[in-house]
Structure formats: C-alpha cells, structure tokens
Structure 1
Amino acid sequence: MRIIKPFAWLALLFVAQPLIAQKVSVKSPDGNIRYQLTLTNGRPVYRVSYKGNPIINNSSVGLAFKDSGNFASNLKMLKPVYKSGVEQYDLVVGKTKHVNNSYEQAIVPLAEINGLKRSINIVVRVFNDGLAFRYEFPQQKNWSAYTLTDENSEFNVAGDPQLRILSFKTYNNAHEGLYEKVPLSKLKKDALVDMPALFEFPDKVYMAITEASLRDYAGMYLGKHNGGLISKLSPLPGQTEIKVKAVIPHHTPWRVMMISDRVGALIESNIITDLNEPSKIKDVSWIKPGKTSFHWWNGDVMPDTSFMPGVNFEFNKYYIDFCARNHIQYHSVIGYGGFAWYSNNWPGYGTPGTYSDVTKPVGSLDMQKVCDYAKSKGVGIHVWVHWQALYPQLEEAFTQFEKWGIKGMMVDFLNRDDQQMVKIQEEILQHAAAHHLFIQFHGAYKPTGLSRTYPNEFTREGTYNYENNKWLPQGLPPEHDLDIAFTRLLAGPTDYHLGGFRAVAPDEFKTHFIRPMMIGTRCHMLAMYVVMESYLHMVADYPEAYEGQPGFDFVKAVPTVWDETKVINAEPGQYLTVARRHGTEWYVGTINNSQKRNLKISLDFLPKGNYRVELYQDAPDDDKNPNHLIKSIKILTDQDIIEVAIAAGGGQAIHLMQQ
C-alpha cells in the first residue's frame, strides 16, 4: 500500500494554478540525494547531487512526436504537487519479503505556452538509495493520442567515471555479451548501451541507470550525446522512426538512477519493485518458486538404458525421479537433440518453420502420463516453448497446459524489446496467471520489477550465462560472474544456468556441448546459488554429476526466494559476499575473481545468538582439483568473524541455522 501524508491531498487542489518560481527541488528522506528541475527560457533541465556533490549535471528532458513536434521548449511550469509517501508491501517472489521504503515526490506540470498547448507532467520520486522520474500524459481536450519518435532524456554524468556496460550495434538482441570497462570519455559514439549500466566514480560513489515498470512502451538504451548520455528507444518493427504509439492518458516507464557510496546497497535495493504496481493476482497460493532440472544444458545426458532416449515418457521419468529423490521442485520437458516436444516442422529449437502446435505433443510423448507421474512424485512439470509457436494460440495452449497439469514454462527466443514485444510479454503473463502458470522468459530483455505486479514471472535470462560454456572457446571466466552481479543483477532475477559440477583450470577448459566444463571452483558454483537472484534456479547438470558429490547437499537445501538480503563484502570486478535469509536460516555466498585472496566475513548481520554453521570452502589443492572442497561444521555467534582463503575463481558457501 502507499501511505501519503495528509498535506499531499491539499496540494492536489492547486495543481492547475500557475507558479511564479520556475524551480523544483526534491530531496531523499535522509537528505543525501537531491533532484532539482529548472525551467530556463521555457526549457526543462534537471540535475542530481549526492551528499552535496554533483552526480548528474544539467540535463535536458523532452519528447519528440511525429505529427505534433517536440515537447521540449516554449513551456511554462504550473504549480508542482509534493508528496511524502511510503512503499510498504510484501513480495511473493523477491530478495526481500516485506518492503518498507519511504520517498519524497514531486509532480511537475509542464504546459506549452503556444501551439497545441499540450501538457505533460514530469514526476520524480526520490528514495534513500536512488531516484526515478517519468513522463505522464494526463487526459486533455486537444490531445487524445501520440506517436513518439524520440524520448530525449539526457544523463550528463558528472566527471569521467568508469563504466561497466554491455553494448550492442542493434536493438534486436538477446541482451547477452561480455561487459566492457571503459571511462565515459572513451565510450564509442555508436555504442548502444544496455541497462543497467554501472558508473564508478573516483570517490567511491556508485550509480546505476536502468528503468522500472516497462509496460506498453519501448525498451530504453543509452547512447553517447555531447559528452554525456541520452535515452535511445527500441523502434517498432519494420521501420526505425516510430518508437511508441499510445492513447492518452498514458505514461512512460520510470528512468531510474540507483545511487550510493556503498555498492552493496545497489544490490540490496528494492527501488525497482517499489516503482511497480501491486500484484494483479489476488490468489497467489498456487505460486510456488523453486529449482528445476534443465537437461538441454548438459546435452540430454542419459545412462545406458533399455529404451530409446528421446522425447518420451521414459527419458522424462529418469529426470523426474532424480528431482523427486533430491527435493527439486520442477522438471523441464524440453525436447531432445534440438527438436521440441510439441508438433512442428521447424529445423531446430530456435528456427521457426511453417507449422507448430503446442497443444499437441509429438507422437512419442504422452504429456498427460508425464504430468501424472510427476505429480505422484511431488514434482511439477515445466515446459520449454518458442514464443512464436506459443503466441498465436495463447489461450488455447494455456487451457491445455492447465488441463495436463503443467505448472509453468520457459518462453524463449523473444530477442526484442520494442513496444509490441513488451505488450506481448505482459499479455503472456496475464493469460498464464489466469491458468495458474508461471513464466520464465529467455532471450529476453532485463527485468523491470514486473514480478511485483505479476509474481508468476519467476526469472528472466538477458545474460551471457553458463550456456555459453557449451560453445565459447575460452569459457566464461569468474570475472564475468562478478560483472553480471554488479550490473544486470541490479535490475532483478536472472537465469544463469547454474549447477555445472565439472570445474577445470582455465588452461584445461575445452568446449563440450555435452557435459560442459566450468571455469571456477565447485565452491564458486555453490555460492552462485546465493549471489545470483532467481526464483527458478536451474540444477542443469545430469543426475550422476550430482548424486554423491560434495556440495550437492547445499544445492538441494538452498531456497530461491528470500525474506532479507544483505551485502557483506563487495568490490566490483574483485569479489562479492551476499547473505540472504529464508525464515530463520541464513545462506551466504562469496564469489571471487581470478586472483587468490583472503576475506573476512563478519557475522554481525545476524540476530544475537548461537548458530550451527555449515561451511563449504575451497580446498588447498583447488588449483589442481577445483572440484575439491572442504565442508566443516562449527558453532558460532553473531560476534564471530569467519576468515577464509579463497582460490582463484573460487568461492565460499555458508548455511547458518540458529540454535
């Protein structure tokens, strides 16, 4: 719910009255972040400071329309509406169970002096860990719809901070790649920067720019502009000029700047879900996050059998039985050897053909039998589908899925974030919720907090994850895991294809499509289940890779949703320690880059008391056998500090239970 101080309602009475002063200032509740909007010669310009120091210099805001010109000059400011409020709510799926964040807000009405005399509100909301603004189009007599060609939101970042970014040449992409570390001044002019983007200032101040509540609008990128940055929107398909078409009233997504002098605060932040609407799903009792098998990643591995491996009951039974034995909540029905489980004439998983029907399994698969057997074992069925096969028969498909007893699905190969695709994804979530189905988007843009509004959205890909170890010649280094944690993770959950249990030294890595190798120790992988946020983590290897192996007990135990999240140690590109609470138990994960180091993990984040502590640490010979780990059990208190030597590419995982 939103709690609004009484005086805010009185301010609403004066929204239409002209204001002589042409300046608006809003501070965070703790006073550290300040946003100021000034109307200079009819042009709106904003700036942002943190603890008195500039972080965004004067930056213009404005919009360009196809048939009615720009909304950026010749403007007057009417009386702002100020509000103090609190975002107080519970998350069904998230890094925090109960959220309680205060903010200060201003709604600044801007109106054209001449011409069409259109009006647009700039709404700014400032929290202690960041701020956000958006454009709102109120209902008005002379303007009922708009066609947007550009949103010219500038971000003239102060100084020359180090950027940690992912950039592309085209808007149509899967939002996957290796990150660049480059000073702002050296950013290429034609770079199309994905979000979140992390800015590291010399005085240890950090800012991340991203967006929240992306709905019925185009996805946003950043581009170089006059030494700073400017918003770039993904165009509607088939052309490059038009970005958004909308009926008024309407509003844009929030443009978010997460700011702190403690980089861990950005990972802990709930600002993205704060800026989204409450859940539209009234009964959430059927929403059950968990872990899932995913045999495509391991190469569809089967042991010697008396039956033909493939898209059949027996193959899926093998993985269902594994999930049941080890309390893994879901099994993925995908296909086999590159061909999907449903009827189609496509040459492969990702290459559309002329026919598909996701309501009809291939002849060798009895989906009802698979679902019934899984249910008898306490396992839910989770299926893979290509979005172009699913979307033309959305309601028919979801009706059949619910009848079979399927619990959710991975929707794959979306690879766009234009307004049309954004609306398609929300439509999928809406229809899926009506049939008690969860969604895992793959080949998809970053999350924008919609898991608050539709908590049946469990996770998104949008990351260059461990699937690339199947074909990337050098494999993914542990530095990439840290890049993801300090950038993409700031937006929300990510599907990272966790669970590879075949770690090798970097110089021994080889690409294996079947039984892929991993760079980074076994403990690094265990820690990733805590560090990486996802409400449907994969256990992606095959059964014999896990059962009887050191560390698998941690994988089985670790939850996927959390009541509380704290960052203990954090240095971008170097190391990260995240502690998360589920009920009364805590899990701690530390991941390291390719340099050995010693770290101290203080337990002072714990409530007072004694704890049974299970520690999983890199073994002394991990340079020769990175799968080797040492598990120890201790009784410690909240006053203790754990000192640990972490291998190159290593990690540590801890499970704490109060006595």
Structure 2
Amino acid sequence: MLNHFFVFRVLISLWFMSLPSIATSKSAIYQAVSPNKNTRIEITVNEHKALAYRVWLANEPVLNWSALGFELNGVAVGQTTVVKKQRTSQHTESFAWRLGETDVIHNHYNELTLDCVSGSVTYQLVARVFDGSVAFRYVLPKQTSTNTGLIRQEHTTFSLPGAFTIYQYNEESVFTPTTVSDLQKTCDFPATLTNGTLFLSIGEADNTSYTKAVLAKGTTPTTLAVAFRKDSVRVEGACQTPWRTVSVATSAIGLHAFSDLFLRLCSPSAEPIPDWIKPGKLIRSSLTTQGGLNCIDFAASHGLQYVLFDAGWYGAEFKTISDPTQVIPAIDMPKVIAYGKSKNVGVILYVNRVALRTRLDEILPLYKKWGVAGLKFGFVDGLTQEGISWLPSAIKKAYDYGFILDIHDNYKPTGLSRTYPNLLTQEGIRGNENNPDAFHNTVLPFTRFLAGAADYTFCYPNTNRYFTDNLYKSKLQVSKGQQLALSVVYFSPLQAIFWYGNPTDYNDEGEIEFFKRVPTVWNESHYLAGEPGQFISVARRQGNVWYVGSAAGLADWSGNLPLSFLASGKRYQATIYEDDGAGSIQKRMADIGAGDSFPVSLKAKGGQALIIEEKR
C-alpha cells in the first residue's frame, strides 16, 4: 500500500507538470553528453516554470520530459525555478578493483551542474552522463533561513516513451513482470524495464543518509515516480540526495556494462584496499564445537576460506538478554578459532541488529581479541533514514578493526563498497534458502545483481540426503547443474556455498569439485547470452583460467555460445560439469578455441558449468 506522502506527491506533480512532455521554444535547454557522444541528458525550465529533464540514446528518446524536484518544508523545490548558473566538467579515471567482476573500472563521464533557486530554497542539480547511463542528484547547501528541514517527498519522475514492462519486486520477494500502466505495487531499485527493443535499469547510488525510496506508478500510464518507502528525510545543514540513475542497452545482457555504475558514483576509500580484506567462500557451521571443527576441515580441503557461526551462537538473536560477548556452552569458540587459523580458515560471526545497535563499540575490540575474521550483520534496518544513516558509521568501525562484512536481510547495496571495501556482500535478495524457481534465478542477473554483490546463500544438496535441517522443508526447484552454474553467474566476493550442508554428509567429491575451484572475484567478465527469466550464460576469468556458467529458466534452452573471449591461436580444454539426468552431476571434456562456438542444450531448470584452461 502506498503511503500518504505518495498521494501528496501525485497532487503536486499534477499541478506543476501537467504537460510534462512539452517545453516551449523559448525555454533554455541545458545539456550534457557522454564521452562517446551517444547518450545525452537535457534539462529545462518548462513553460510552467518547473524543472524537467529527458534522456536520449543515439538521438532516440529513452525518457520523455520528466519532473525533477522535491518538497522541502512545504516548498515545492523544482517549481518556479530560476537557473542562476551552469558549469560543465569532464572526468576521466580508471581505478584498480580487486574485489569485483573485472580488474579495472573505467569511470569516464561529463558533468553538468545547475545552480538553481526555487522560492526561498537554493540548490544544485548535478548530472553526470556516462556511455549508456545518466545519473543526477540534488545538492542542498546550508540554507540561510534554517539549518534543518524535512523532505517529505521527491517529485522525480521517469516518463517512458511508450509502453514498457517492469520486473516488479520488493526486497526479498519474487519478480512479477507487469506493464507500467498496470503497476499496483511499488518496485525496488534497481528496476529493470523493457519494451522489447530497449532495456532500462533505473537505480540508486550513494545512499548514506536518506530514506529508502522506491518506484511507484506515476500520473500517466507510462510514467514512474519516486516514492518514499516508510518515512520522510530530515535535513540538517548541507546535504545531498542519492544519485538517481538511468542506464539503457539494446539487449538484456548489455545491462551488465552498468553493474559497476554504483561503485563509480561513490567516493573512493581513503587508502588502497588492505591485504586483510580477503574474498572467499564459506560454509555455515552447526552451533557446536565439533560442528565448527568439522567445517574447518571441510573448508581447508575444499577451497573454502571461511566458516560462519550464524544466529544463535550467543543465544536467541532477538532477545535483549542475549549477550554477544558470551558464547553458548556448546561452542568452544577459542578452540574453533585457533584451529581455523592453523588451517588458514577464518571464522565469521553473526550479530543481530538488537545487539549491534547497543553494543557494537564493545564487541568490535573483543572480537578482534578473539581473532574473528569477519562479521555478518543481521536484520539491519535498510528501510528508514535512521537505519540507513546508522550503517556507514558501523561499516567504517568494522573496517577500522579489520573485519570483512556481510549485511543481511532487507538492505541492498548502493555502491558503498568502494568507500568501505570491507563490505564484501549483502543480501537484499530472495536467496536459495527460499527455494526460488528457475524463472527467478534467471531474472536476477538482469535486476538485483545490477546493484552489486548479493549473498544468495547456496543450499547445495549433499549426496546422502537433501536436508534434515528443520528450516528447510522441500527440495530445490532447480537442478544441481544450475546450482554449479549460478556460482559463476552470480557475483559476490563472499559467497556462501553450503548453507544447510553438514560437511560429513558430502561424500561424492566429483560432484562438488567445481565449488572447490570456482573463485569469487574476477579479472574479466563477459555476459555471453541471456534473456530475463529464460536463460543466462556468463564467462569470467581469474588468472589464466576461464569459468562459464549457463542456466535455463522454466523452459528448455539450446544455443551456441561465442568463445571470442579466448585468446586467438590457442587451443583450450574445457571441463564440463552438467546434469546427468538422474539427479547428479556428470563430467566430460572438450577441445575448444576462440574461433569456435560452444553448443549448449539445457533442460528446463537445468544448468552447466565449465572450467576452461589452455592446453599445454
């Protein structure tokens, strides 16, 4: 249900943008173009004296004239606007990023800044134009009349050039493809839309002190509007809103070019990424000493870097009487941590929001003394301004103490890992523990994963049983081959592989050996083929070895994958892990080269994973 602030925004938008697609011939148009001259944003004060923008790709409209602005202390900022000054600049940068999908991130854009006045409010509209993307935000300097205020709603809209379908979802829900004209619910950022010709991703970056915003149906059948999820935004002194982003591609897989956009829009860390920030894979332990020791042995022999003690290791997670400084008697934590260090396996501890909000400053130095490698924040508040504003300082404190970090539940990334690289991953996704189907799995690469890393918590079944854990009631809805493939397709520097697995129950080494080898960060990545909800194939390289994951949706998929990412003139051996038709994994070999195409034929809900190495 939309809140009353959304109703207020609709009334305001109807008044000051009643003809959003029209700008008079006398209106000045301010613009910025991308470095390759193919993407353009235009901004004007229209005939209603309201600030508006539109976006072009190769001289074709991506967005028609759309509203800009927000409501601050009863003033509709964006109305009765006067542009006092414009400034333009160019930015060319490339930076190393060893925790991502590629070694180097290129950050090239042209920037336009407009100094504006609406009534008593002075502000800036800052727009950046990348090849294929635009981003804009509102910047409020310290006002002369007051240092505090309340942003009750944004008036930002996205006026689409015709009928589009949106892949609607909220936090950890399923995806529901819906025509924008029929949209009844809100949709989270990043939101993916298509009209069959263009694919759009509307997102958010650098949210450090705002509330959670969502997309809602606008005032016309082809318009989306920003709405606040739960509360308003309190402003004290100078502030800036998160970036609103629009990326466009002519294919679904083309959207992957913008999966690092949110990193590009955030401030870099004050220092290079320290060596103690180590990506890796983990297994979740039962809450016993022997369970921890068994997991460490399994991790050491199966290429995993971490063991996680999840909720319950210090008592009931939501009870205030549970003490995060005291381990339950069933776990000898010093013994487990020491044993892990002897095997080069780190221990990660879960801490719930109840304890985090009251005892963070106490537990961080204590866990450092214990020798803990990382933390998992549980049930953080990613929905309100207060909860979102709390997180950056908590992330930085964890960084200062040398802990890698995973944030779970409704929080989703907006690029803060560039500022705080210890934030390796987060949830904000309907993960494997919820038994999502193959449609969901093949929509995720084109939606949630465009915002950044996600902890999907793989629930790979063991060979003796599926799961006896009382939290897991039914079998997976996809094949084992798809599980293997998605560990390549889905990006997360910290990857939970065996979420419900008991290490003593995995006795088929040939079936799980792919997980032993697959990395979690990459030197190079290519989306080879894909359509949302139908199929996906991704190739990634670490060092001299390539990994390819391919997954089918709810229908069979056959095709030929280009191998042009391989070095020309060389021959390679592909080790292929795929479903055997009997519920297990079979392995075969193939000789391939850059000039070849690789045939793939997957049954519905199935998958295939490849390891490709140069022949010697």
Residue 590 of structure 1 and its aligned partner are, at CA, apart by 0.7
SS of 2:55's partner is strand
Equivalent AA in structure 2 for residue 521 of structure 1 = S
Unaligned runs of 5+ in 2: 1-25
Equivalent AA in structure 2 for residue 635 of structure 1 = D
Equivalent AA in structure 1 for residue 448 of structure 2 = R
Partner of 1:170: none
Partner of 2:268: 278
The yes-or-no answer on 1:267 pairing with 2:256 is: yes
Match 1:648 to one of 599, 604, 608? 604
Residue 535 of structure 1 and its aligned partner are, at CA, apart by 1.0
Worse overlay, 424-433 or 274-283: 274-283
Match 2:306 to one of 330, 338, 355? 330
Partner of 2:194: 200
Partner of 1:86: 92
Q: Does the C-alpha gap of structure 1 residues 374 and 224 become closer, same or farther in structure 2, counting only changes over 3 Å?
A: same
Match 2:176 to one of 180, 184, 197? 180
Equivalent AA in structure 1 for residue 192 of structure 2 = L
Q: How does 1:598-637 map to 2 (within 5 A)?
A: 598-619=558-579, 622=581, 625-627=582-584, 629-637=585-593
Q: Deviations over 1:115-148 (max 9, x none)?
A: 52x2111111111131110001124544433321
Q: Decide whether the 8 Å contact of 2:574 with 2:592 is kept in 1.
A: no
Q: Decide whether the 8 Å contact of 1:130 with 1:260 is kept in 2.
A: no
Amino-acid identity (%): 28
The yes-or-no answer on 1:61 pairing with 2:68 is: yes
| CA distance in 2 between partners of 1:261 and 1:422 (Å) | 34
Match 1:526 to one of 481, 484, 491? 484
The yes-or-no answer on 1:111 pairing with 2:117 is: yes
Q: Deviations over 1:571-590 (max 9, x none)?
A: 12111111112122211111
Match 1:482 to one of 422, 432, 442? 442
Match 1:491 to one of 447, 451, 463? 451
Equivalent AA in structure 1 for residue 209 of structure 2 = D
Q: Decide whether the 8 Å contact of 1:589 with 1:651 is kept in 2.
A: yes
Q: Decide whether the 8 Å contact of 1:281 with 1:433 is kept in 2.
A: no
| CA distance in 1 between partners of 2:280 and 2:577 (Å) | 25
Residue 545 of structure 1 and its aligned partner are, at CA, apart by 4.6
Partner of 2:496: 538
| CA distance in 2 between partners of 1:76 and 1:547 (Å) | 71
Q: Decide whether the 8 Å contact of 1:93 with 1:452 is kept in 2.
A: no
Residue 615 of structure 1 and its aligned partner are, at CA, apart by 3.1
The yes-or-no answer on 1:291 pairing with 2:281 is: yes
Partner of 1:258: 247
Match 1:231 to one of 206, 226, 232? 226
Q: Does the C-alpha gap of structure 1 residues 47 and 536 become closer, same or farther in structure 2, counting only changes over 3 Å?
A: same
Q: Decide whether the 8 Å contact of 1:503 with 1:519 is kept in 2.
A: no
Structure 1 stretches of 4+ moved >6 Å? 508-512
Q: Deviations over 1:344-389 (max 9, x none)?
A: 4x4xx4xx22312211112333322211111011110011111211
The yes-or-no answer on 1:595 pairing with 2:561 is: no
Q: Does the C-alpha gap of structure 1 residues 503 and 545 become closer, same or farther in structure 2, counting only changes over 3 Å?
A: closer
| CA distance in 2 between partners of 1:466 and 1:373 (Å) | 30
Partner of 2:30: 24
Q: Decide whether the 8 Å contact of 2:111 with 2:129 is kept in 1.
A: yes
Partner of 1:239: none
What's the C-alpha RMSD, in Å, of the aligned pairs? Answer: 2.3
Partner of 1:450: 416
Partner of 2:147: 144
| CA distance in 1 between partners of 2:423 and 2:382 (Å) | 18
Q: Deviations over 1:409-466 (max 9, x none)?
A: 2111125321111122212211100110011111132211111111111111111111
| CA distance in 2 between partners of 1:434 and 1:468 (Å) | 34
Residue 254 of structure 1 and its aligned partner are, at CA, apart by 0.5
Unaligned runs of 5+ in 1: 1-19, 168-174, 237-242, 301-310, 470-475
The yes-or-no answer on 1:341 pairing with 2:313 is: yes
SS of 1:78's partner is strand
Match 1:39 to one of 26, 40, 45? 45
Match 1:222 to one of 215, 220, 239? 215
Partner of 1:307: none
Partner of 1:7: none
Q: Deviations over 1:468-497 (max 9, x none)?
A: 13xxxxxx2111101212111111111111
| CA distance in 2 between partners of 1:232 and 1:597 (Å) | 38
SS of 1:632's partner is strand
Q: Decide whether the 8 Å contact of 2:578 with 2:587 is kept in 1.
A: no
Q: Decide whether the 8 Å contact of 1:210 with 1:256 is kept in 2.
A: yes
SS of 2:412's partner is coil
* Residues paired across the two proteins, number: 583
Q: Decide whether the 8 Å contact of 2:319 with 2:354 is kept in 1.
A: no
Partner of 1:303: none
| CA distance in 2 between partners of 1:657 and 1:142 (Å) | 66
Partner of 1:367: 333
Residue 54 of structure 1 and its aligned partner are, at CA, apart by 1.6
Q: Decide whether the 8 Å contact of 1:329 with 1:378 is kept in 2.
A: yes
Q: Deviations over 1:26-79 (max 9, x none)?
A: 22222222211011242101111222222211111111123x522121221122
| CA distance in 2 between partners of 1:632 and 1:651 (Å) | 14
The yes-or-no answer on 1:552 pairing with 2:528 is: no
The yes-or-no answer on 1:121 pairing with 2:124 is: yes
The yes-or-no answer on 1:155 pairing with 2:151 is: no
Equivalent AA in structure 1 for residue 198 of structure 2 = V
The yes-or-no answer on 1:416 pairing with 2:382 is: yes
Q: Decide whether the 8 Å contact of 1:503 with 1:520 is kept in 2.
A: no
Residue 392 of structure 1 and its aligned partner are, at CA, apart by 0.8
Q: Does the C-alpha gap of structure 1 residues 481 and 545 become closer, same or farther in structure 2, counting only changes over 3 Å?
A: farther
Match 1:383 to one of 349, 353, 359? 349
SS of 1:550's partner is helix
SS of 1:80's partner is strand
Q: Deviations over 1:511-560 (max 9, x none)?
A: 97358522222221111011001111112222245342434111111111
SS of 2:325's partner is strand
Worse overlay, 92-101 or 157-166: 92-101
Q: Deviations over 1:597-636 (max 9, x none)?
A: 22211110222242443332535x52xx232x33222332
Partner of 1:12: none
Normalising by structure 2, we get a TM-score of: 0.90
SS of 1:193's partner is coil
SS of 1:45's partner is strand
